[in-house]
Structure 1
Amino acid sequence: MPHVNIKHFPRDFTAEQRERLSEAVTTVVAKHLDTPRGAVSIALEPVPEAEWSDTVVVPEITGREHLLIKTPNYLGNPQENA
């Protein structure tokens, strides 16, 4: 049921890093959406830095601020400094 797609700059993850990330995200999503852990799916989607704006910012963030629960600071959000 809940599906989380994490878009990120390309990097290599070890199996241990992938497992720790999966466990952490699953725990938070299951808790806050009151859903079984087994219902959570997670994808890691590498996006080259040169394509970030066209692939992520424009289609996923711009004009969809009402869906965001956190705005990235690179868009000038004064509430986020890190």
Structure 2
Amino acid sequence: MYSTIFIGIFIILICFLLIVIILIQNPKKGIFYQSFMDKNFRLFGIKRTNTLLEKITWILSIFIFFLTLFFNFLLKNHS
């Protein structure tokens, strides 16, 4: 019971994190992008930051996919 609640909340948190990462990647309209790039421009550079954000997006998407499958498996075994 508690594992399904924990995994459900974890999936929701990862979804919000994925939304923020996607908003940062939009260079034309993103308020988050400008503030993120101003702070980290010297550390990463533009190309490295974009590739890092793209890799994080793919990793989080794959992680959500497998967590959703695992969550479905737990729900089927619980009932």
TM over 0.5: no
TM-score of the superposed pair, with normalisation by structure 2: 0.30
Quick check: which one's strand share is greater? 1
TM-score of the superposed pair, with normalisation by structure 1: 0.29
Question: Which of these two proteins has the greater Rg computed from alpha carbons?
Answer: 2
Higher relative contact order (CA 8 A, sep 6+): 2
